[in-house]
């Protein structure tokens, strides 16, 4: 086919393209298996089909002995179609596109100056496609970055991987921004000259789109940095929690310094004691008394308990009798203590008597009863005894005195 028949060339490209695109659909399952695994399984493919796929550069064979794999561009296409963020590529190469744009503008001008209308149209079409591709590459990259960001890099499971993916994304943004910086609109203005169609495509249109990309990239960059700070904080917390828990497990007796006793108490440790803002019904404020009266009336009445006629009489006194019986036993034991003092004629410690006699009373109850017994004696009998208390002050700050023991002796 010669250049003299450009229409014929075009139609041949189109028909071959349609044939080859159809191959993608026809062998979709084998190709997806190749995407998911390392190699394309050959079981379902005939030799002819395989050769066609190789000729269309959909598949390739890295070495003669090895298996057949997806061509990188096809893998990229599938990743792009699936928004598969773990495999999506970001193409930040602007320099080559700019080179191409420059040379396309040159051919376009030559065609225009030579009056070759069809060729001029073709060049403009290619220019438009290249500008669209450039835009599309930024738009795809930004889309991919947002998806990764919004999904918290959920396509990798470990925090360490997320941090690395975030770093990779941030580097991609830097490359994309560097690429944007290569586009020099002064140069493009000069390049397009006075041609209206070119000016619209390469100056006003492109500038507007690139400004949008720039804003999006800056925003996604800011959010990535924020997310990274969160990842790092999580990582640091996770390590701290694990490390401290491990340390405390290994050192069960660990006691940190008493920070509350320092001259300067650390802010974290200074937590004031809780204070309950208590309130009670008060009748000294006349207007309130009516409200209080109403509240009183609204109080639920205690439900009258049904009285089981037979059981009620027995159950309550039984408990009272039990308590009274214990009280009587205590009183008798204490009286034994008093008699022991009278019989022995010597002073006796109440606690020693309690321990030696193997009585079951708690010390507190015992001492209380010994003192109560003394105070309950008629004054004339009280004079016959002397009860002395061994006591100490409970605290420097009040006058509460603790009684440790009492000694009873005859006066």
**Which among 252, 238, 80, 93 has a CA at the least distance from the CA of 178?**
93
Min dist CB 391 to other proteins, Å, is 24
Min dist CB 398 to other proteins, Å, is 12
| Of residues 256 and 304, the one with the C-beta less far from other proteins | 256
| Of residues 22 and 291, the one with the C-beta less far from other proteins | 291
What is the C-alpha end-to-end distance of the chain, expressed in Å?
141
Distance CA 255, CA 70 (A): 62
Min dist CB 158 to other proteins, Å, is 8
Min dist CB 151 to other proteins, Å, is 13
Distance CA 12, CA 16 (A): 6
Q: How far is CA 337 from CA 23, 357, 387, in A?
A: 111, 9, 13
| Of residues 47 and 157, the one with the C-beta less far from other proteins | 157
Min dist CB 169 to other proteins, Å, is 14
Min dist CB 249 to other proteins, Å, is 7
Min dist CB 395 to other proteins, Å, is 11
Spatial neighbors of 136 by CB under 8 A, at least 6 apart, are none
Chain centroid, CA 398 distance in Å = 50
For 62-97, b/e burial (b = at least 16 CB within 10 A) is eeeeeebbbbeebbeebbeeeeebeebbbbbebeeb
Residue ranges binding other proteins (CB under 8 A): 157, 159-160, 162-164, 167, 231, 233-249, 255-261, 265-277
| Of residues 155 and 359, the one with the C-beta less far from other proteins | 155
Long-range contact pairs involving 65-69 (C-beta distance under 8 Å, separation at least 24): 66/39, 67/38, 67/39, 67/40, 67/42, 68/34, 68/39, 68/40, 68/42, 69/34, 69/38, 69/39, 69/40
**Which among 382, 358, 354 has a CA at the least distance from the CA of 369?**
354
For 276-292, b/e burial (b = at least 16 CB within 10 A) is eeeeeeeeeeeeeeeee
Distance CA 67, CA 24 (A): 19
| Of residues 7 and 261, the one with the C-beta less far from other proteins | 261
Longest Cα–Cα distance of the chain, Å, equals 146
Min dist CB 110 to other proteins, Å, is 49
| Of residues 160 and 313, the one with the C-beta less far from other proteins | 160
Min dist CB 244 to other proteins, Å, is 5
Min dist CB 161 to other proteins, Å, is 10
Distance CA 70, CA 57 (A): 9
70 DSSP β-pair partners: 59
- 75, 138 Cβ separation under 8 angstroms: no
Spatial neighbors of 387 by CB under 8 A, at least 6 apart, are 370, 371, 374, 406, 407, 408
| Of residues 236 and 390, the one with the C-beta less far from other proteins | 236
| Of residues 113 and 284, the one with the C-beta less far from other proteins | 284
| Of residues 255 and 400, the one with the C-beta less far from other proteins | 255
| Of residues 388 and 393, the one with the C-beta less far from other proteins | 393
């Amino acid at each position: 086919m010669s250049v003299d028949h450009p229409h014929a060339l075009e139609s041949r490209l189109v028909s071959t393209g349609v044939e080859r695109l159809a191959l993608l659909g026809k062998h979709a399952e084998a190709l997806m298996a190749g995407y998911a695994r390392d190699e394309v399984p050959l079981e379902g493919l005939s030799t002819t089909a395989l050769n066609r796929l190789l000729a269309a550069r959909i598949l390739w064979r890295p070495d003669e002995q090895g298996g057949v794999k997806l061509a990188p561009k096809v893998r990229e296409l599938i990743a792009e179609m699936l928004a598969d963020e773990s495999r999506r590529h970001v193409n930040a190469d602007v320099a080559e596109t700019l080179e191409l744009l420059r040379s396309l503008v040159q051919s376009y001008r030559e065609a225009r100056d030579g009056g070759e209308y069809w060729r001029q149209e073709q060049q403009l079409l290619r220019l438009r496609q290249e500008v669209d591709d450039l835009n599309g590459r930024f738009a795809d990259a930004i889309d991919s970055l947002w998806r990764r960001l919004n999904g918290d890099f959920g396509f990798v499971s470990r925090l360490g991987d997320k941090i690395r993916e975030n770093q990779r994304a941030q580097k991609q943004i830097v490359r994309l921004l560097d690429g944007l910086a290569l586009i020099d609109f002064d140069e493009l203005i000069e390049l397009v000259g006075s041609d209206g169609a070119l000016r619209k495509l390469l100056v006003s249109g492109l500038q507007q789109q690139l400004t949008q990309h720039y804003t999006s990239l800056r925003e996604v960059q800011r959010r990535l940095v924020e997310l990274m700070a969160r990842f790092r904080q999580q990582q640091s917390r996770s390590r701290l929690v694990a490390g401290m828990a491990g340390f405390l497990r290994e050192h069960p007796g660990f006691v940190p310094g008493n920070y509350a006793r320092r001259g300067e108490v650390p802010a974290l440790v200074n937590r004031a004691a809780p204070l309950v803002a208590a309130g009670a019904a008060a009748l000294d404020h006349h207007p309130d008394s009516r409200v209080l009266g109403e509240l009183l009336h609204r109080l639920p009445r205690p439900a009258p308990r049904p009285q089981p006629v037979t059981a009620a009489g027995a159950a309550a006194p039984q408990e009272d009798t039990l308590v009274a019986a214990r009280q009587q036993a205590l009183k008798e034991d204490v009286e034994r203590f008093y008699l022991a003092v009278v019989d022995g004629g010597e002073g006796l410690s109440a606690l020693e008597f309690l321990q030696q006699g193997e009585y079951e009373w708690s010390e507190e109850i015992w001492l209380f009863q010994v003192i109560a017994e003394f105070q309950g004696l008629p004054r004339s009998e009280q004079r016959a005894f002397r009860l002395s208390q061994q006591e100490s002050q409970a605290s420097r700050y009040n006058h509460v005195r603790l009684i440790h023991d009492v000694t009873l002796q005859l006066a």
